């Protein structure tokens, strides 16, 4: 019978656990355990003595549990059989995971069914050698990364489906924006899956979601992207989807009648809106008049059709225009001095933001605390959070930020825009 005198690790480089192939040992056998490894003696399916890194001579002093079971006659090369397992205690950080098939869920923002894929990587470290070998390895001669992923694939996929769906539904996040939250999802998945690994003597480390994406051939998602691109285009051009459809209807009608493709050349006017009838006819009449009427107009309070300023009755629905709201009187822009509608947000000449006084409607500078025309106290938006602050307040009640004019860095006195020196202490302002 061949008796082994030297036992050391000769398994695969990426193995997490490896069984020494020969079980015929003897006393005084030299056992070599590398750094970041542990060796475990197993006899009759029972885990016995555990050895750390270093060189060990097998004798009654360092294998007391094994010797008590088989009653070895120490003093010579007495043969005995036992299994020796080498367990890798180093961190393994490059274990890949991924969803084998797309996850079917509903986009909570746009209410569309979408297919989602996810993949990433994680790391593990075997902390409890006995628990790992007894609970998960069993009798496998080699336990590697692929075997680990196979054992825990069900736990991984269950948590991936649950957490991704939960983030989308509870936070109302569109699938198109989900990659902005992969860091938070990674942390939650590590906290959820970690205790499951610990039950088998494994510590989970650095669980990362690399990407959450949509298959390229998903028609629903492609239609959603096209619709969002179309909406962005219309926002840039300054009209709505209903207005675009109205343009297409007018152009199609003009082409079929042989008048030409141009709405302005067709001269359809209000007659087309009246002829079609109903809400569509009203929208057509309103849009056509917005394109053709050059004079000042007033909107009908009932159908919103544009009428001439001196009209007494609406040409579209026949309602009286006597109670229609008058056209807002224009005021001078505080930046360029040209007339601007106080109901607009920006000056159409220079682009300066319009900040009308609630009393006299005069336009005021952005940092003005009182109206430059009538002296009425004005509310200020907080520069940090945008919360509207009551007149006279110096600090925002929402975020605590300073509101109003900038302060001198030395004496904290408020200074006017463009001021070079503090009038209180003479400090030079940057």
**Residue 234 clears pLDDT 80, i.e. is over it:** no
Q: How far is CA 114 from CA 47, 99, 171, 220, in A?
A: 50, 15, 17, 7
Return mean pLDDT, the chain: 75
> Considering Cα of 175, then 178, then 179, then 185, what sign does the dihedral take?
negative
Q: What is the average pLDDT across 313-329?
A: 69
In the chain, % of residues over pLDDT 90: 7
**Nearest-CA neighbor of 287 among 328, 326, 239, 235?**
239
**Residue 263 clears pLDDT 50, i.e. is over it:** no
**Residue 264 clears pLDDT 50, i.e. is over it:** no
Q: What local confidence, expressed as pLDDT, does residue 261 receive?
A: 42
Q: Spell out the residues 6+ positions from residue 421 whose beta carbon is closer than 8 angstroms to its own.
A: 427, 428, 429
**Residue 239 clears pLDDT 50, i.e. is over it:** yes
Confidence of residue 67 (pLDDT cuts 50, 70, 90): low
Higher pLDDT, 61 or 269: 61
Q: What is the average pLDDT across 317-346?
A: 77
Confidence of residue 221 (pLDDT cuts 50, 70, 90): low
The CA distance from 86 to 35, in Å, is 11
> Among 29-33, 193-197, 248-252, 366-370, whose mean pLDDT is lowest?
248-252
The CA distance from 160 to 334, in Å, is 56
Higher pLDDT, 300 or 283: 300
Q: What local confidence, expressed as pLDDT, does residue 343 receive?
A: 81
**Nearest-CA neighbor of 119 among 103, 104, 97?**
97
For 201, list phi and psi in degrees, rounded to 5.
Answer: 80, 20
Confidence of residue 327 (pLDDT cuts 50, 70, 90): low
Q: pLDDT of 92-143, one tens digit each?
A: 888 888 888 888 877 777 777 778 888 899 999 999 988 888 888 777 788 8
Q: What is the pTM of this model?
A: 0.47
The CA distance from 132 to 362, in Å, is 78
Q: Are strands 83-88 and 17-19 parallel, antiparallel or unpaired?
A: antiparallel
> Among 60-74, 164-178, 383-397, 416-430, whose mean pLDDT is lowest?
60-74
**Residue 203 clears pLDDT 90, i.e. is over it:** yes
**Nearest-CA neighbor of 326 among 338, 343, 346, 351?**
343
For 207, list phi and psi in degrees, rounded to 5.
Answer: -80, 120
**Residue 288 clears pLDDT 60, i.e. is over it:** no
Q: What local confidence, expressed as pLDDT, does residue 273 receive?
A: 41
Q: What local confidence, expressed as pLDDT, does residue 272 receive?
A: 40
Scan for tokens 């690994």, then name that residue. Answer: 197
The CA distance from 391 to 104, in Å, is 52
Please count the other Cβ atoms lying within 10 Å of the Cβ belonging to residue 302. Answer: 16
**Residue 27 clears pLDDT 80, i.e. is over it:** no
The CA distance from 331 to 342, in Å, is 7
Q: What local confidence, expressed as pLDDT, does residue 243 receive?
A: 59
Confidence of residue 276 (pLDDT cuts 50, 70, 90): very low
């Amino acid at each position: 019978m061949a008796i082994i005198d030297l036992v050391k690790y000769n398994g695969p480089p990426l193995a997490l656990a490896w069984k020494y192939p020969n079980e015929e040992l003897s006393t005084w056998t030299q056992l070599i355990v590398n750094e970041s490894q542990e060796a475990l003696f197993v006899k009759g399916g029972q885990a016995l003595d555990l050895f750390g890194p270093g060189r060990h001579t097998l004798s009654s002093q360092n294998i007391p549990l094994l010797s008590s079971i088989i009653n070895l006659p120490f003093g010579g090369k007495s043969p005995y059989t036992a299994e020796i397992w080498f367990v890798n205690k180093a961190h393994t950080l490059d274990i890949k995971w991924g969803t084998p098939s797309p996850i079917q869920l509903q986009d909570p923002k746009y209410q569309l069914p979408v297919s989602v894929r996810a993949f990433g990587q994680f790391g593990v470290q075997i902390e409890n050698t006995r628990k790992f070998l007894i609970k998960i390895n069993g009798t496998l001669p080699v336990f590697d990364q692929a075997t680990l992923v196979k054992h825990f694939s069900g736990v991984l996929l269950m948590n991936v489906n649950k957490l991704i769906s939960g983030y989308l539904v509870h936070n109302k996040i569109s699938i198109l924006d989900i990659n902005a939250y992969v860091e938070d999802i990674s942390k939650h998945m590590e906290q959820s899956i970690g205790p499951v690994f610990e039950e088998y003597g494994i510590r989970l480390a650095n669980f990362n979601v690399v990407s959450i994406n949509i298959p390229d051939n998903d028609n629903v998602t492609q239609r959603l992207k096209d619709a969002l691109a179309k909406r962005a285009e219309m926002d840039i051009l300054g009209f709505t989807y209903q207005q675009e459809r109205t343009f297409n209807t007018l152009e199609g009608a003009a082409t079929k009648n042989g008048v030409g493709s141009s709405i302005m050349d067709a001269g359809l006017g209000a007659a087309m809106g009246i002829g079609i009838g109903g809400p569509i006819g009203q929208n057509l009449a309103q849009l056509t008049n917005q394109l053709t009427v050059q004079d000042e107009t007033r909107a009908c309070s009932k159908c919103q059709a544009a009428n001439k300023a001196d009209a007494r009755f609406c040409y579209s629905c026949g309602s009286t225009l006597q109670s229609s709201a008058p056209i807002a009187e224009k005021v001078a822009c505080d930046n360029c001095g040209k007339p601007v509608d106080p109901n607009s947000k920006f000056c159409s000449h220079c682009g300066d933001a319009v900040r009308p006084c609630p009393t006299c409607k005069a336009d005021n500078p952005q940092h003005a605390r009182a109206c430059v025309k009538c002296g009425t106290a004005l509310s200020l938006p907080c520069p940090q959070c945008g919360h509207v602050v009551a007149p006279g307040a110096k600090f925002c009640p929402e975020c605590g930020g300073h509101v109003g004019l900038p302060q001198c860095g030395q004496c904290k006195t408020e200074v006017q825009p463009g001021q070079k020196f503090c009038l209180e202490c003479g400090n030079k302002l940057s």
